[in-house]
Structure formats: structure tokens, C-alpha cells
Structure 1
Amino acid sequence: MKQENVSPTQVLVLPFPLQGHINPMLQFAKLLVSRGLDVSLVTFCGNKPMAVQDYSSVKLEPVFDDLGADNILQKSGEDYIQQVRGVVTLRLPQIMAKLGMCKSENPASCLVYDSVVPWALDVAKEHGVYGAEFFTMSCAVSTVFYNVHEGLLKVPIVEPCVSMAGLPLLQARDLPSFVYDIQTYPTFTQFLTNQFLSFKKADWVFFNTFTSLENEVVNWMSTLRPIKTIGPTIPSKYLDKRVEDDSDYGIHLFKPEMDICVNWLNSKQTGSVVYVSFGSLATLG
């Protein structure tokens, strides 16, 4: 509860600048606001204004650099990742100072950082701020990357079937493409396995899932350290309605074409359409 003459708890949320990472962390930020916390979200504006709705009282803290999703397609993966790290390492302390998050001013402040930027925890600790790691992927997928990181799963995969604690027996092609086809995405394979560099050092660890969806692997991951499942992180209208008028994520890196998509869907017979998401980075001819 907010008390007189006491600085409100400040939470700064840092997603990696891709839509599939922003969406769940933004929804989590909205839930924190609904519990009375002051929450700010780091955004990467680049040279183009994002489509931002007045969706909640989550404040935006823009980092003005060309780090939009379209920019990653123009660089090597390694160059883009290093650019994000350089910009965030410079700007994050400035933003935390602006928000009064340093330990002497607000000892309860916390940085919720995307698991793919584990080095953000070091920045938080240098300034006396708590750090919470947020895994945007399911616990099952994250477990695959954990096994690669710890050397429990050797890549490239040579066996037809793979056995990992907490998961059913999987065929090699069931694994994420970053593991199954490692030669195609070597930079991003390392990028994703490095999520676990700060896994055991963070003050809290959140997973974008819910326990009953993947109970066995969540229980197994909990044997490594305490974790919390906080998903599914989707607009509240479609879930529990805890956040009023929350029917959209609110931040779009690409221009939404809602009417075009809905009209096309309405022209099809019920049950005749399969939806497949290729993520922010895929470009299809």
C-alpha cells in the first residue's frame, strides 16, 4: 500500500524489441498497475513512431534508437543484439535515475527484464535495484534451451529421439528450430541459450505460462530454483477481466490490419482456417 512520505514502488519493465516479447511483458505490466504499483515500460521508438494506444496507466520510457523489428532484418543477428545491449546499458541507468529507483531513494524498486537480456540484471544490481527475470516463452521451450545451456543436450542433434527431465520423449524435429537446425541460426541459438546466465541470480523468475498447462515441466523447473507462472498474458477481456477495457495489447511495431483480416476471415466457412504465426522476423515471399 502507498503510504504518506514514502516513495511508491517503481517497476521498470524491459522487453527485447520484438512484438512477441513486448506483448506478454506489457500485459504483465498492466496487471502490476492494477495492483497499485507504478510501472514503466521501456520502448524502442527508432525512426518511426509506433502505434500506441491509451491502453492503461503503464508509463512509456522511450529509447530513441533504430531498434525496430524491421531493423533486425537489415543487420546480422550479432550486430543487432550488440546494438541493443549497447543502447540499453547506456540508457537504463539514466531511466532508473529519472524514476528515482536507486536504492537510497526507493529500496523496493525492481527491474523486470526479458530473459534474453540477462546482462540487464548486472545493471540493476549496480544501482541497488531488484531484478526479476521474465521468460516470454513456455516453460517447455525454455527447458530445451536450459538443457543446451547446461550441456545436457548436445547440439547438433544426432539422435532421432531426445529425453529431457519434465518433458515427454521428443523426436529431434519436435525441438525449436534454433536447436534442431542450429547451422541456420547459430547467433540466435546462443542468444536463446544464454537466457540462463542470470537464471539462478535473479531475485525472482517469472514464466509466461500457467501450471496446469505444463504441470510436469513447471514442477521440474521449480526444483532448480523458485519460479512463478504468471500467464497466459493476453488482454484481460479474453481472460479474467481484471483490467478494465483491456481488449488489445496496445503497442504495435507493425501497422495492424484488423479490418482486412476480420473481413477475410468472415468470408470463410467456420472451421476452415488454420492460423500459423511465424513471429516478427519471418519474411514470406
Structure 2
Amino acid sequence: MDGATSSSGDERGGVHVLLVPLPAQGHMNPMLQLGRRLAYHGLRPTLVATRYVLSTGPPPGDPFRVAAFSDGFDDGGMASCPDPVEYCRRAEAVGSETLAQVIAAEARAGRTPSVMVYDPHMAWAPLVARAAGVPTAAFMSQSCAVDLIYGEAWSGRAPLPMADGSALRRRGAVSVDLGPEDLPPFVVSPGLYPKYLDVSIRQFEGLEHAGDVLVNSFRDLEPQEAEYMESRWRAKTVGPTLPSFFLDDGRLPSNKAYGVNFFSSAAPCMSWLDRQPPCSVVLASYGTVYNLDAGELDELGNGLCDSGKPFLWVVRSNEARKISQELLGRCEENGLIVPWCPQLEVLAHKAIGLLLDSLWMELNDRSTCCRRANGGDAEVGRPANHGKVRGECMGDRRADADR
């Protein structure tokens, strides 16, 4: 797929917004939900996605038009490049040219973009837009707390390694005490994850030139952190970017799914959950990026089995081959292993009692959905911290302080 290809999106006049997410599921879906809200208010969104992403399934449909560009990994996408720095380097080299072609094609077709919303992990994208005379807005898919930690590291106000969040709290950046276990491991042990640290903090490179900075969070969750992001980076909270159905806001009642799934599964997740008691099931899901070695998978799997609780374990197919036959046999006794699940529907199921998660991308959205559906009884667990300030830390400690 080259250039722009029309879906059934509205072709009428109005503000035309290009949405350019990082081609990872945890980044794309929040931006898609933002696009749906923009369309609700009369704007015309066009999803600009990589050729690989658009090859994995049908386009999202109304209200989106779709345009394709190349990040240099058309055959296997981001997952085919294990080195995040190399991925970003090649994506910039190839993407700068192909994104410029998309913008030019839209203008020739009479759909000149009014603004481009981009993921700041793609720091090269706004340079392309500005060269074409298109204003930009950055959309940060993580919470304010995570964003400000990386922003402070980028600016040098938070020297690395970061032992805890005490300095951040003294400056008024965060409202709760954060221990090393609550911080992204990239800033606690930068030597262990140097390339991921580099990619994480470089999203602030040139951010001051963005016309607007939008954050996938909401002030009621982290008011002090949101205020700090606003004071330092002019950030505005626009989250949580959940499908409207799960927010009870009545705006888009038919919007029940995120819209992009890189994986599919015929496993009967929902029917299996229907057979489990309320709040009894442990959901273990580590997203589309997180990689566990065989030893870590063995430890996690045996821990799930030893819990004595029914569990739904989401393991990507390329990861599942690392699981021993012995462990697979144990898991069959009380659990279900699937390569993918419809996460929002699963989290909203009354059987879910605990979520084990890497806390990598969408914790605010996931925990909001889970707690809404299950009357607040569901918890968010984390056996391994991989780049996210713990959402339960922010919420639970603030609740303790308010008592």
C-alpha cells in the first residue's frame, strides 16, 4: 500500500488531522481513540501508519481515512528489529522521505493537513511536517508521572542513575514517595538498558517546538504531576483514551474496541472466563514489546500454577516456544494460555480479579477499565517493572494520604 488510500472516512471540509503513531500496538490504539474523539467534535482524522501495520489486518474504518508510509521494516515491522536505536535510526532515514510523500499526496488531493499529531518517540516526524508547513502536536501515550521522569532525565534536572523519587518530590514534580521499585528500570539501572533509555528520553528532543503537547492521562489521577508537565512542557491531559463504552460518557456508545490488533487468536477466552467464579482469575499479559527469557517465563508460569487460582496467560507465539512441555502440562490444569486476547473485553469481565502486567504502555487505561467493571475489587500487580511508574502506587498512596 503506497501513498494515501481512502477508507470510508468523511471527505467533507473541516480541520484535517494527520495521526502518526509509533507503530506499536500500545501507542497506536490510544492515538486511534484520540482520533475518534476528534471526529466526534467535527474534525477529520487520517491515520498515517506503516505499511507493515496496515498489512496485519483491516483498516480501522469510520471515521478514519488511512495513509501508508514506510519505516524501512515493511516485512516484519518494529518487532523484526531487536535493537531499538537501530530501529529509530532506520525509521528516521526511510520514514522522513515517505511521510513527506504522504503529506504532499494529501495536499495534491485537496486534503491539506491542518495539523499533524505525532508520537514524540518519532522525533523526526515534526521536522517533516514543519518543512511542509503543517503545524504539529505531540501525543504522549504514557502517564504524566512517567513522562516527567524521562523529561527530567533528558533535561539533566534528574541525574542518572535515579535511586528514588525523593528529589522529584522535593521539586513538586510528583505527589507521592517513589522507591526504586516504583520507577522505570531504565532510569534506576541505565547501564542495563542503555538503548531503551536512549529511546525513552529522546522523545523530549525538540518537544519545545511542538505546537501542543498532549498526554494520555487525566488530572483526577495525578493532578500534581499533570500541573508539573504543564509548567515544564505546556502539556495538556486528554485521557484516558479508552473506548467510550468503557467510560460511561455516552458520546460514542458503539465504540467498544481499540481498533488495531497485531495478533489474533481463536482461543475461547471469553467462554473460558464465563465458566470461572467472579474475581477469581489472574490475567498475566506483558504486551507486544516485552521479551522474557526462558527462565523468566518458567518462573512466571510456575508462579501462576502455584497460586492455585485460575489464570489466563497471554504469551505471544514467538515467546511461547520458550515454555517447556512440562510447564505447558502444568498450566493446562488450571489455566489457559493464548497468544492474544481482546484485552478490554477481558478486563471488563467479572471473572478477572488480578492483572499482572509489565506496566509498559496503557496501565491507566487498563486499570480504569478493570476497576470500573469489577466494582473496584480488581488489583494491578507487577512482577517485573519495565518502564512504568506503578499506577496503583499513584492511586493507592494518594488515597492513603487523603484519609
Counterpart amino acid of residue 130 in structure 1: P
Call closer, same or farther: CA 1:92–1:218 in 2, change over 3 Å: same
TM-score by length of structure 1 reads 0.87
Q: Which residue in the other structure is 1:3 paired with? A: none
Return structure 1 stretches of 4+ with deviation > 3 angstroms.
Answer: 67-71, 159-162, 274-277
Aligned-pair distance for 1:23? Answer: 0.6
Aligned-pair distance for 1:163? Answer: 2.6
* CA distance in structure 1 between the partners assigned to 2:53 and 2:45 by the alignment: 25
1:19 to 25, 31, 41: 25
Query: How many residues are treated as equivalent by the alignment?
Result: 276
Q: Which runs of 5+ in 2 are unaligned?
A: 1-11, 293-321, 323-403
Counterpart amino acid of residue 38 in structure 2: L
Q: Which runs of 5+ in 1 are unaligned?
A: 1-5
CA RMSD of aligned residues (A): 2.6
Q: Which residue in the other structure is 1:163 paired with? A: 167
Q: Determine whether 1:100 maps to 2:111.
A: no
User: Percent of aligned positions with the same letter in both sequences?
Assistant: 29
Instruction: Give the stretch that moved more between structures: 88-97 or 75-84.
Output: 75-84
Aligned-pair distance for 1:91? Answer: 1.1
Q: Which residue in the other structure is 1:249 paired with? A: 258
Q: What is the CA deviation profile of residues 201-224 of structure 1, one whole-angstrom value per residue up to 9, with x for unaligned ones?
A: 111110001111100111112112
2:290 to 274, 277, 282: 282
* CA distance in structure 1 between the partners assigned to 2:283 and 2:219 by the alignment: 25
Aligned-pair distance for 1:169? Answer: 2.1
Q: Determine whether 1:196 maps to 2:200.
A: no
Q: Determine whether 1:237 maps to 2:242.
A: no
Call closer, same or farther: CA 1:128–1:172 in 2, change over 3 Å: same
Q: Determine whether 1:45 maps to 2:51.
A: yes
Call closer, same or farther: CA 1:53–1:100 in 2, change over 3 Å: closer
* CA distance in structure 1 between the partners assigned to 2:285 and 2:237 by the alignment: 23
Structure of greater relative contact order (alpha carbons < 8 Å, 6+ residues apart):
1
Q: Determine whether 1:151 maps to 2:188.
A: no
Counterpart amino acid of residue 90 in structure 1: E
Q: Determine whether 1:272 maps to 2:291.
A: no
Counterpart amino acid of residue 114 in structure 2: S
Q: What is the CA deviation profile of residues 186-244 of structure 1, one whole-angstrom value per residue up to 9, with x for unaligned ones?
A: 11111110111122211111000111110011111211243221111011111123225
Q: Determine whether 1:220 maps to 2:228.
A: yes
Give 1 or 2 for the bigger CA radius of gyration: 2
1:103-118 correspondence to structure 2 within 5 Å: 106=112, 109-118=114-123
TM-score by length of structure 2 reads 0.63
1:65-80 correspondence to structure 2 within 5 Å: 66=73, 71-80=78-87
* CA distance in structure 2 between the partners assigned to 1:210 and 1:49 by the alignment: 33
Aligned-pair distance for 1:184? Answer: 2.8
